[in-house]
């Protein structure tokens, strides 16, 4: 099973700042089958990025994903007030037999 580690656990930033979130896999993820989700309190997760770097429908271009192999990054170029949330990465290289999520990174207001 591929284990995902996200860092930092919490990121404290101000609106307008740049956020860089890391997701590291215990082994190489085939074909960059890595997705990112945003979750706000009391809400379901929302897909942001799939295939490591493709934005989902309706996602603003301030969100971008990069990386390959075992190291992936989600970047929010300029934080908007609505971006303060928890972000999860997910690997789906083994889908549909199963997949795993990272533990999440909380982006909160400094």
Choose the stretch contacting other proteins; rule: CB under 8 A; options: 12-20, 40-48, 58-66, 71-79.
40-48
Question: Would you call 61 helix, strand, or coil by DSSP?
Answer: coil
Site for other proteins in 9-38 (CB under 8 A): 33, 35, 37
Q: Which of 38, 74, 104, 107 binds other proteins (CB under 8 A)?
A: 104
Q: Does 63 bind other proteins (CB under 8 A)?
A: no
Quick one: three-class SS letters along 9-74?
CEEEECCCCCEEEEEEECCCCHHHCEEEEEECCCCCCEEEEECCCEECCCCCCCEEEEEECCEEEE
- Size of residue set near other proteins by CB under 8 A: 25
Q: Does 90 bind other proteins (CB under 8 A)?
A: yes
Shorter beta-carbon distance to other proteins: residue 45 or 67: 45
Q: Which of 13, 47, 55, 62 binds other proteins (CB under 8 A)?
A: 47
DSSP secondary structure letter of residue 26? S
Q: Is 46 exposed, middle or buried (0-12, 13-18, 19+ CB in 10 A)?
A: middle
Q: Which of 2, 11, 45, 84 binds other proteins (CB under 8 A)?
A: 45
């Amino acid at each position: 099973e591929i284990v995902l580690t996200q860092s930092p656990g919490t990121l404290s930033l101000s609106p307008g700042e740049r956020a860089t979130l890391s997701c590291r896999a215990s082994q190489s993820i085939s074909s960059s089958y890595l997705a990112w989700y945003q979750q706000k309190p009391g809400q379901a997760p929302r897909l942001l990025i799939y295939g490591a770097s493709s934005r989902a429908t309706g996602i603003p271009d301030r969100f971008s994903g990069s990386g390959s192999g075992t190291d992936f990054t989600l970047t929010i170029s300029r934080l908007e007030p609505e971006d303060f949330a928890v972000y999860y990465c997910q690997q789906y290289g083994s889908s549909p037999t199963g997949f795993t999520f990272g533990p999440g990174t909380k982006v909160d207001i400094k």
